[in-house]
Amino acid sequence: MTPAAGTTMAQALNAALRDALDGDERVLVFGEDVGPLGGVFRVTDGLTAKFGEDRCFDTPLAESGIVGFAVGMAMGGFRPVVEMQFDAFAYPAFEQIASHVAKMRNRTRGRVELPIVIRIPYAGGIGGVEHHCDSSEGYYAHTPGLKVVTPATVADAYSLLREAIDDPDPVIFLEPKKLYWSKAQVALPARTEPFGRAAIRRPGADATVVAYGPAVPVALEAAEAAAEEGWDLEVLDLRTIVPFDDDTVVASVRRTGRCVVLSEAAGFGGVGAEIAARVQERCFHSLLAPVLRVTGFDIPYPPPMLEHHHLPSVDRILDALDRLQRDDEPDTRYLLAGGVA
């Protein structure tokens, strides 16, 4: 069914949870305020009413407890889908995630599987106060044993969440908060490409912009602006950070010869750095310019009235593109200015 006005990402996620609960009685949803309230972003709206308190329920307010409890329930044969209310509020659960969720299969040599989905609303752009806007994907992507997924479209939100719940491995499912209310005409249930495949959101010939999650719409906007300046950008949406789709990224950059990596997170030591490294390792002889990153600054997430200075903007992407054209003199801005490196 497609509502005439379109479906929001939050509604698509809600539909994915509803269909998963409907299709498999082992699936459970729990966390803080996910019951009668329906979650602070309404992603679990109506699930308790439809499926009962045994299938979608509130827990004590303790993130480590929620994730650890999910570990035990998964060992007992359930398929928990838990919600961390906000990115930075998931940090108390990090020990459970890094030491147990990520490692259980490995430390038991495949004998104990943990099919757990940990949903985390993440990243900024919604005017949130501190501790509500972190881009925490780097912590999870750096932890072997976790799959790290982040949708940028409404159809992907549905499809990737269904796949995450079906997956035998634990999945960190990062929901870009600022896209919760983005809309598209999609017929649900929708199935898109599986985990591990990046999508070409806009084909182009002159340069590849690699983005994921909340940065994808920004990349597409920049591509439109760049087109007016005669640049034909290809925009890739990773969809899953882990597993990572080297093939699509490499094929694109070898074709275009130029690459800009876009990420809201702080740049230093982040997912963007990993992508840039992989591109230069695999595409060195095809590259016509250095691989550049456009990322958030290396600062704690700023107060809401200042966040627009921090977030990668269309202008900052266009500025990076200018530098991709350079093929003679060293660019002193590149050496002296911060922020774009």
Partner 1 sequence: MTDRHQGGRPGPLLPSERPVRFLTDGGTPARGRHPYPEPDQELLLRAYRRMVVGRRFDAQATALTKQGRLAVYPSSRGQEACQVGAVLALDDGDWLFPTYRESVALVTRGIPPVEVLSLLRGDAHCGYDPHRHHVAPQCTPLATQTVHAAGLAYAERRKGSGRVVLVFVGDGATSEGDFHEALNFAAVFRAPVVFLVQNNRYAISVPLERQTAAPALAYKGIGYGVRSEQVDGNDAVAVLAVLGAAVAHARSGGGPFLVEAHTYRLEPHTNADDATRYRADAETEQWRRRDPIARLKAYLRRSGRLGDDEAAAIAAEAEEVAARLRAGMNADPDLAPLDLFAHVYREPTPQLAEQRALLRSELQAEEVPA
- Three-state DSSP at 308 gives helix
| Among the residue ranges 13-21, 123-131, 139-147, 291-299, the one whose residues contact partner 1 (CB under 8 A) | 139-147
Please state the closest distance from residue 165 (CB atom) to partner 1, in A: 15
Question: Binding pattern to partner 1, positions 92-131, x when CB under 8 A?
Answer: x--xx--xx--xxxxxxxxxxx------------------
What are the beta bridge partners of residue 8?
183
Query: Do 239 and 149 touch, CB atoms closer than 8 A?
Result: yes
Of residues 65, 257, 290, 304, which one binds partner 1 by CB under 8 A?
65
Q: Considering only the C-alpha atoms of the chain, give the largest distance between any 2 of them, rounded to a whole number of Å.
A: 66
Please state the closest distance from residue 287 (CB atom) to partner 1, in A: 21
Instruction: Name which of residues 157 to 186 contact partner 1 (CB under 8 A).
Output: 168-169
Instruction: Name which of residues 225 to 254 contact partner 1 (CB under 8 A).
Output: 242-244, 246-247
Does 325 bind partner 1 (CB under 8 A)? Our answer is no
Joined together, the tokens standing for residue 298 give 């290396």
- Terminal CA-CA length for the chain: 45
What are the beta bridge partners of residue 207?
233
Does 306 bind partner 1 (CB under 8 A)? Our answer is no
Of residues 52, 72, 194, 300, which one binds partner 1 by CB under 8 A?
72
Instruction: Name which of residues 199 to 228 contact partner 1 (CB under 8 A).
Output: none
Please state the closest distance from residue 245 (CB atom) to partner 1, in A: 8
For residues 170 and 146, give the distance between their C-alpha atoms in angstroms, rounded to a whole number.
6
Residue positions annotated with a catalytic role: 132
Please state the closest distance from residue 166 (CB atom) to partner 1, in A: 12
Does 255 bind partner 1 (CB under 8 A)? Our answer is no
- DSSP for 143-161 reads STT-EEE---SHHHHHHHH
Does 52 bind partner 1 (CB under 8 A)? Our answer is no
Please state the closest distance from residue 229 (CB atom) to partner 1, in A: 36
Q: Is 290 exposed, middle or buried (0-12, 13-18, 19+ CB in 10 A)?
A: middle
Does 89 bind partner 1 (CB under 8 A)? Our answer is no
Q: Which is nearer to partner 1, 7 or 48 (CB)?
A: 48
For residues 68 and 326, give the distance between their C-alpha atoms in angstroms, rounded to a whole number.
52
Does 194 bind partner 1 (CB under 8 A)? Our answer is no
Of residues 75, 205, 299, 306, which one binds partner 1 by CB under 8 A?
75
Of residues 56, 71, 276, 283, which one binds partner 1 by CB under 8 A?
71
- Three-state DSSP at 86 gives coil
Does 91 bind partner 1 (CB under 8 A)? Our answer is no
Does 36 bind partner 1 (CB under 8 A)? Our answer is no
Of residues 59, 153, 208, 248, which one binds partner 1 by CB under 8 A?
59
The amino acid at residue 326 is R
Joined together, the tokens standing for residue 157 give 């939100």
Which spans in the chain are helix H? 9-23, 47-51, 63-75, 94-95, 104-107, 137-141, 154-166, 215-228, 246-256, 271-283, 307-310, 314-325, 332-336
For residues 327 and 329, give the distance between their C-alpha atoms in angstroms, rounded to a whole number.
7
Residues 6+ away with beta carbon under 8 Å from 229: 318
Please state the closest distance from residue 58 (CB atom) to partner 1, in A: 10
Query: Do 80 and 73 touch, CB atoms closer than 8 A?
Result: yes
Residues that bind partner 1 (CB under 8 A): 54, 59-60, 62, 64-65, 67-78, 92, 95-96, 99-100, 103-113, 144-145, 147, 168-169, 196, 242-244, 246-247
